[in-house]
Amino acid sequence: MQGIAEDVTRHPRADAEFEKLFAALEDSLIMVMIANSEGEIEYANTKFQEATGYNLDELKQIAPESLVEIAKDKNDARWETLRDGTEWRGESHYRRKNGALFPVIETISPIPAIDGGVDRILWVVEDETAQRVYRKHLSTRADPGLFTDMPSRIRNAVFLVLSSDNSLITKLQMENLALGDAMNRLPIGVIVVDAFSRPLRMNRSARAIIETDDGLALGRDGLHGTVDGQAVRMRDIIWRTGRAASSKKKTDSSGAIALERPSGYRPLSVVVTPLRTESHYFDKDRPAALIFVSDPETHPDIDENRLSSLYGLTRAEARLAALLAQDLSLADAADELDVSQHTVRTHVKRIFSKTTTERQSGLIRLLLSGPEQISHE
């Protein structure tokens, strides 16, 4: 399951394409900035940071319009143009952190979303430094367009990787949907969370557990629960296990806890596993951990048809095996099937033979570890 969840958040080809793009952007003399559809800055390359005097953390705290000397009506018109999906290009004056202004030529391009809206906004900005360097190279280069067209080349490269109509991104989105469907079929709850334990994605089993509000709850501080009468935040578990995993000291980094339940039922079993997301993704909300949660009060839903196909069981034998996997005794199973205990014992012997098990405990272990619990839907 960990491999499935990691594939949801990372992909080797995607990493390679992102890293190539970032390497090119970081070496570029062109200023590049990317914001989300709400105008919140997510990324600015080294040249942009050097030219403005702001580091990336500072840029993420300010609005893009505060970087440019522009009238309010003109800025409103520019944003209206971008939200309509139209590119904007023109001369402007950018403001450095110390208040000084410098002239630039900026191209602002909306990156379309898969639903037809705007996913992100890209700034490609030329200042005097870049123009001076490019003019110097023009006299010795046979292809002057290589430099004069550099902003559009950068724009095309970013669109190639990030645009929703790009074949790579489309392929990854399709794989993401398929893997999401695979997660939903698992009988155990799986939650992908950020560093503050806010769910970025969860499967159907996890959602059902949270909706019962009996042991694991979602609040302003993310996911939380109770252990030994004390409130516990999942974010603290994430940070503690992350530090323990990166430390050379032998400390407990398992992240395994049992959450108490107000209903009095047996505690929820939870395992928190930090993720290593070292790639320079644009998204500010990065997957930071996986949370696996199971409810011991939930009876496994064993597919009897699969039991018949996998082990050659008859319908009656498959029905009995499914009941035994739900922790029913032979007597209870006999009552449920409305047959004698002698008949049940005869079926059990045949089930042992067909599944190559010798004891009821071994049979249950086989059934609970196999694919019989995977949902059809």
Q: Where are the domains of the chain?
A: 2-170, 186-294, 304-373
pLDDT of residue 136: 61
d(CA 96, CA 102): 8
- Interhelix angle 341-355/315-325, nearest 10 degrees: 90
Classified by CATH at the fold level, domain 186-294 comes out as Beta-Lactamase (3.30.450)
pLDDT of residue 1: 31
Question: What are the tens digits of pLDDT across the range 308-340?
Answer: 988 999 999 999 998 988 888 899 999 999 999
Is residue 277 classed as helix, strand or coil in its secondary structure? coil
Torsion of CA 250, 256, 260, 261, to 10 degrees: 170
What residue has token string 């280069």?
141
d(CA 5, CA 275): 10
Q: Mention the CATH class of domain 2-170.
A: alpha beta
d(CA 138, CA 180): 51
Task: Decide: 184 and 4 in contact? Cβ < 8 Å.
Answer: no
pLDDT of residue 27: 77
Residue 2, amino acid? Q
d(CA 172, CA 165): 11
Topology agreement, domain 2-170 and domain 186-294: yes
The 3-state secondary structure of 92-146, one letter per residue: EEEECCCCCEEEEEEEEEEEECCCCCEEEEEEEEEEHHHHHHHHHHHCCCCCCHH
pLDDT of residue 316: 93
Any residues with CB less than 8 A from the CB of 123 and at least 6 apart, and which?
31, 32, 33, 34, 35, 48, 64, 106, 107, 108
Give me the tens of pLDDT residue by residue for the chain, a chain 377 residues long: 333 333 333 445 555 666 676 777 887 788 899 888 888 888 888 899 999 999 988 998 898 988 998 888 888 888 888 888 888 888 889 999 999 999 998 899 988 876 677 888 899 998 876 566 555 655 555 454 444 566 777 877 777 666 655 545 556 666 777 888 888 888 889 999 888 888 988 999 999 999 999 999 998 888 999 998 889 999 888 888 877 666 655 555 568 999 999 999 999 999 998 886 554 444 445 778 899 999 988 887 888 888 898 899 999 999 999 898 888 889 999 999 999 999 999 999 999 999 998 888 888 888 888 777 777 66
Neighbour tally for 289: CB within 10 Å: 24
**Integer distance in angstroms from the first to the last C-alpha of the chain?**
18
pTM of the shown model? 0.52
pLDDT of residue 2: 34
d(CA 36, CA 219): 25
Residue 274, amino acid? P
What are the residues facing 256 on neighbouring strands?
Answer: 271
Torsion of CA 226, 230, 236, 237, to 10 degrees: -50
Calculate the alpha carbon distances from 9 to 56, 177, 232, 271, 296 in Å: 23, 12, 26, 18, 28
pLDDT of residue 248: 54
pLDDT of residue 5: 37
d(CA 366, CA 205): 21
Any residues with CB less than 8 A from the CB of 191 and at least 6 apart, and which?
199, 201, 202, 203, 206, 223, 290, 291, 292, 293
Token pair, residue 240, equals 């503690």
Determine whether domain 304-373 maps to CATH 1.10.10.10. Answer: yes
